[in-house]
Amino acid sequence: MKRPILIHPDPRLKKAAPPVEDISDELRKLADDMLETMYDAPGIGLAAPQVGVSTRLITLDCVKEEGAAPRPLVMFNPRVIAASDERSTYEEGCLSIPDQYAEVERPAEVTVEWLDRDGTLQTEDFDGLWATCVQHEIDHLDGKLFIDYLKPLKRQMITRKMLKLKKERARAAG
Ligand SMILES: [Zn+2]
């Protein structure tokens, strides 16, 4: 089941989410819904707070090559346990900030630890787009958006555009 994605600014996007203590069927269902919502958008990553659920769960799939097999990842309590000194810059976007893109610099490689949907601890090194995406999604769990890395003026400009978009959408919805 697809879920509505919250649009910035929204206080629920600014709140740090508490850790998952028990991976219940309900949370696995939420993960499935998030994957469906993410692929439909389309997007390469989604965090539970973006669908209004304050819990440490993210989904991602950064496979871009045409015809390549998808790699849906579900991460409960994801944590960056090591980051490279080397940094890389990507033009980032966010499903909660539609049609706005800006360059953000982050560590080029990260080691991430998480619990999979069976509660098994997984560890993996990510680089390239995967590294950017997983850091962007983990930021959401701490109430942080990619625009928080930008200069205040640019951030305010984007926020004003989003307020306008939300107003238009509310009007369209009657
Ligand atoms: Zn995002």
109: which DSSP letter? Answer: E
Q: Say what the pLDDT of residue 173 is.
A: 85
* 98 CA → ligand 1 middle, Å: 10
* 120 CA → ligand 1 middle, Å: 25
Query: Annotated catalytic, 137?
Result: yes
**Alpha-helix runs per DSSP H in the chain:** 25-40, 128-141, 152-172
Taking the model in full, what pTM does it have?
0.96
Taking only the tens place, the pLDDT of each residue in 68-118 is 999 999 999 999 999 999 999 999 999 999 999 999 999 999 999 999 999
